[in-house]
Amino acid sequence: MTAQIIDGKAIAQQVREQVAAEVAQRIAAGKPQPTLATVLVGERVDSATYVASKQKACAELGMGSVSHHLPADVGQEDLEKLIQKLNASREIHGILVQLPLPAHLNEERILSLISLEKDVDGFSPINIGRLAQKGREPLFVPCTPYGCIYLLEQAGVQIEGAHAVVLGRSNIVGMPAALLLIGKNATVTVCHSRTRDLPAVIRQADILIAAIGKANFVRGDWIKPGAAVIDVGINSVPDATKKSGHRLVGDVHFEEAKEVAGWITPVPGGVGPMTIAMLMKNTLRAAELQDG
Ligand code: GUN
């Protein structure tokens, strides 16, 4: 069996086109331009690249973006003041604080300060708490897990009643992905580095979300035949055939897994493009909540 490849690039492009059309309509109707504020602390190259991509996406979709880049040694108080200023600004609809923050900063406190209507990453404790509770709706869902679920739904994978296994329990991906799947009536198992006999647990998965950041970790014979495999990993591995000397691979051994799975996302071109597309969707929603 060869899996159906879920084309995240194409699905992300559809989301972006929808968002761009709605942004254009809002602007034509005289409403303020939906605008995202990004906050980057320090000099991590990966974080700077992600933030630059988010700003580029805003420009491409007709949205505004305002960038704040603070030194790695910025004090907690100064960062909190910036968040409060952005909360109060009528021009800013969404606030994105790129994670991880340097260790001396209190991340939980910073995330809890972001006003709920502007929490386009969905990381505020109140949004996450609502995601975890029955009958409560978060205003925003974290972008990467939101993208994973969107891909499953677009591919026509049945979530309700399925056994979903989430590999990884991070605040950014694994844990919110598990909560979203529970909300969609899947039966969910969360695995991590200390899970016993991981292959046996993963073999039970109708849906596998792999988010542990280990290159080619999940092997083909761990996959249940016909399963839907969503690979969140983006890992760089040496590759002498490439000009750059490396290439990107996921957490799942794609070549092996595609022979067994029913659906699979590639890396690159799977979940990656969805994160930014969902951030744009959330920022548009933030503008709708604030300006009508
Ligand atoms: N760091 C890695 N992924 C993310 C994300 O989706 N949002 C933010 N703010 N930081 C991240």
Atom in ligand 1 nearest the alpha carbon of residue 99? 10
Q: Which atom of ligand 1 is nearest to the CA of 142?
A: 6
For residue 144, the ligand 1 atom closest to its alpha carbon is: 6
From the list 161, 165, 230, 222, the residue with the least C-alpha distance to 191 is 165
List ligand 1's pocket residues with C-beta within 6 A: 96-99, 121, 143-144, 172, 275
Question: What angle in degrees, to the nearest 10, is found between the helix axes of 174-183 and 143-155?
Answer: 50
For the stretch 10-33, pLDDT in tens is 999 999 999 999 999 999 999 999
Return the pLDDT at 1: 67
User: Does 121 participate in catalysis according to the annotation?
Assistant: yes
pLDDT digits (tens, 9 = 90+) for 110-158: 999 999 999 999 999 999 999 999 999 999 999 999 999 999 999 999 9
Minimal-distance CA residue to ligand 1 atom 11: 99
Q: Which fold has domain 142-273?
A: Rossmann fold (3.40.50)
The answer to whether domain 31-115 has CATH 3.30.530.20 is: no
Mean pLDDT (the chain, rounded): 97
* For ligand 1, atom 8: residue with the closest CA: 98
Q: Distance, CA 156 to ligand 1 centroid (Å)?
A: 27
Note the pLDDT tens digit of each residue in 212-258.
999 999 999 999 999 999 999 999 999 999 999 999 999 999 999 99
Distance from Cα 40 to the centre of ligand 1, integer Å = 11
The domain ranges of the chain are 31-115, 142-273
Using the predicted structure, report yes or no on whether residue 79 has a pLDDT greater than 80. yes
